[in-house]
Chains A and B, each alone.
Chain A
Amino acid sequence: MRIRIADTTLRDGSHSVRHQFELDEIRRIAGALDAAGIDLIEVGHGDGLTGSTCNYGFSKHEDFEIIAAAAEVVKQARLAVLLLPGIGTIPDLHRAWDAGARAVRVATHVTEADIAEQHIRAAKKMGYFTVGFLMMAHRSSVERIVEEALKMESYGADVVYATDSAGAMLPNEVRAKFTALRRSLEVPLGFHSHNNLGLAIGNTVAALENGATWVDGSLAGLGAGAGNTTTELLVAVLNRLGYPHGADLYRTMDAAAVDFAAVAEAHGLTVTANQDAMMLGYAGVYSSFMLHTKRAAKRFGVDYRDIILELGRREAVGGQEDWIQEIAAAMAAERAGQTR
């Protein structure tokens, strides 16, 4: 079953920049995510449609402007908004649709699904791809989350998410909840995580192994608290696990390391996700090779990632740093040959 990837850099990540993304920045990141093959791109205030308030912080730009800016560049992905009943309303959903949103995630506390009935039904009627989003999933028992998820399914949700909003879930808990959800629901299941205990990607894998087919990430793991699952890391891990999906690894990495890094810097943030190290794990290459490879890539003008992949392919073992130079030089020579 094909796995769907949702990126929330421009929604959950907006918490990290106090909801101050510029429209140009939104276009740049949404465009890069779209080109990378991400399935769903969520934008807007961190607290959802019309979350721009005294209580949650005022946005630089209104949600509807943000949606319209992203809609200019998003071609293949579903452009999504978040809506929390009690904050946003159905009229807001109409405005979001007019601005270009085509998917909505209707979010409630894990025990309060019934306050989403109006919004899920209305969204479906408008033509939205509609996701039921149960937040703070760690706060309920297995039985209760199943009960609430079934309600969202009955209202017409296309997908139901268990959301670890507090980054508090442990893999065994994720496993238990998804096993039960999978047994009871017919619609696809999704998982959204926060990395507060360093378990975001591990929990995501636990969810995938137990029936989730929608998974969330954000570039460089930007998001509230310690951030979400890192989207580029998620793509790498999905590749390693052999799950089919639509994203391109290098393009997703570049969306983070080039496009997003520039935007983050403008907001005084340093992108800490270490893509270089990620490549080692992805290709199964000895960790001390990293700095040597970086230098060789620079010296010979080739993509660092290609050297690492080749080292992995050749099954280099610890101690064979000399292979790095040889591979880099050969790549450079081959490229020169091609261009001649």
Chain B
Amino acid sequence: MEKVNVAIIGPGNIGQDLMIKIARSEVLNLHCVVNIKESPGLERARQMGAYTSTDSVNYLLAEHSDDVEIVFDATSATAHEACAERLKEAGFFTLDLTPAAIGPYCVPTVNLSEEMLAEPELNLVTCAGQATVPMVHAVNEVADVYYAEIVASLASLSAGPGTRANIDEFTETTRAALESIGGADRGKAIIILNPAEPPIFMRNTIYTRVRNVDMEAIKAACARAMEEMREFVPGTRWRMEPTLLDPDGDTVMMMIEIEGLGDYLPVYSGNLDIINAAAVYIAEIKARQLLERRRSGGAVKAEGEAES
């Protein structure tokens, strides 16, 4: 099957996991991977047959603005801010996996739309956002959430230097998405890193304070959201189903555990899977659109497979 060429900026934890997921895709071709320095991730990309460079975005723009259509930025918020404008000018469809939040937030099961696919870039919020916004949204639909709070616990080993250097953007972006996509009047995000051995699975606790305490409706809505999330990451499961904390109160607590596919990092890194699965899902929908347009003779970038 014909494929669309994609590039990855930043082959760290997120980037290398993306490579493996992209290699499985029927419509995406890993064409180019760039970094600011030589690294094991870049070496992996070479072995997978992609063009690589340590000149990062400069190389991508100079050499592949004609044959790459979709770009995954897996660097850091600061690094993405520095190159976002140039990526846009080059006409890429960029999926931003940093918490830079320049493009609109996209949590695919909640708000992916035709309009969003036409944007120059979409922001994938954060792993915690991908893991919790669907639940906040589900509760809000039936119970009107006036306050949503999430506590995401990640295994220390699964949080790379980019995440660590940008923890403020991580909490801020997650909080903002709880409000703008989840629908809570007010949000709060808490991120905890836990170095326990063996590493813990990614865990997300979601507290929602609701105006309409209808537990049956809330449980049903969350069960549906869980089914949708499991389509992306089958290892998503309840640690604690939606529970009214105080029988006379309005605080509903639930806890989700995410076991990843173990593509790059071991299965405890469900945080990598959930954001990358969402990014690849969006990229595949976009790629199918592009291929459709190509077949119907629309203007397209040059075709081409990588060296492989």
Residues of A at under 8 Å CB distance from B?
50, 53-55, 85-87, 89-91, 109, 111-112, 114-115, 117-119, 139
Closest approach, in angstroms, between the C-beta of A30 and any C-beta of chain B? 27
Most chain B CB within 10 A, of A54, A55, A87, A111, is at: A54
- Write out the residue numbers on chain A whose beta carbons fall within 8 Å of the beta carbon of B171: 86-87, 89
Q: Would you mind naming 9 contact pairs between A and B with Cβ atoms under 8 Å apart? A: A53-B190, A53-B207, A54-B149, A86-B167, A90-B168, A91-B172, A109-B194, A112-B193, A115-B193
Chain B, range 86-143, C-beta contacts under 8 Å to A: none
Give the complex CA separation of A248 and B89 in angstroms.
66
- Write out the residue numbers on chain A whose beta carbons fall within 8 Å of the beta carbon of B253: 54
Q: Are B172 and A109 in contact (CB under 8 A)?
A: no
Closest approach, in angstroms, between the C-beta of B197 and any C-beta of chain A? 11
- How many pairs of A and B residues are in contact by the CB < 8 Å rule? 55
Q: Are B195 and A111 in contact (CB under 8 A)?
A: yes
Smallest CB gap from B188: residue in A: A53
- Write out the residue numbers on chain B whose beta carbons fall within 8 Å of the beta carbon of A50: 188
Q: Are A86 and B191 in contact (CB under 8 A)?
A: yes
Q: Which residue of A109, A111, A118 contacts B168 across the interface (Cβ within 8 Å)?
A: A118
Stretch at the interface among B41-49, B158-166, B211-219, B277-285: B158-166
Quick one: given A109-B195, A111-B156, A114-B161, are A119 and B168 in contact (CB under 8 Å)? yes
Give the complex CA separation of A54 and B149 in angstroms.
7
- Write out the residue numbers on chain A whose beta carbons fall within 8 Å of the beta carbon of B75: none
- Write out the residue numbers on chain B whose beta carbons fall within 8 Å of the beta carbon of A54: 147, 149, 207, 209, 251, 253
Q: Name the prevailing secondary structure of the B interface residues.
A: strand
Q: Are B167 and A115 in contact (CB under 8 A)?
A: yes
Q: Are A89 and B168 in contact (CB under 8 A)?
A: yes
Closest approach, in angstroms, between the C-beta of A111 and any C-beta of chain B? 5
Q: Which residue of A86, A91, A111, A118 contacts B165 across the interface (Cβ within 8 Å)?
A: A118
Smallest CB gap from A90: residue in B: B168
Closest approach, in angstroms, between the C-beta of B162 and any C-beta of chain A? 11
Task: Say whether B205 faces chain A, with CB atoms less than 8 Å apart.
Answer: yes
Q: Which residue of A55, A85, A109, A118 contacts B207 across the interface (Cβ within 8 Å)?
A: A55
Task: Say whether B302 faces chain A, with CB atoms less than 8 Å apart.
Answer: no
Task: Say whether B23 faces chain A, with CB atoms less than 8 Å apart.
Answer: no
Q: Which residue of A55, A87, A89, A139 contacts B205 across the interface (Cβ within 8 Å)?
A: A55
Smallest CB gap from B168: residue in A: A89
Give the complex CA separation of A232 and B100 in angstroms.
48
Quick one: given A112-B193, A112-B195, are A55 and B149 in contact (CB under 8 Å)? yes
Q: Are B168 and A55 in contact (CB under 8 A)?
A: no
Quick one: given A54-B207, A55-B207, are A118 and B192 in contact (CB under 8 Å)? no
Closest approach, in angstroms, between the C-beta of B13 and any C-beta of chain A? 14
Q: Are A117 and B165 in contact (CB under 8 A)?
A: yes
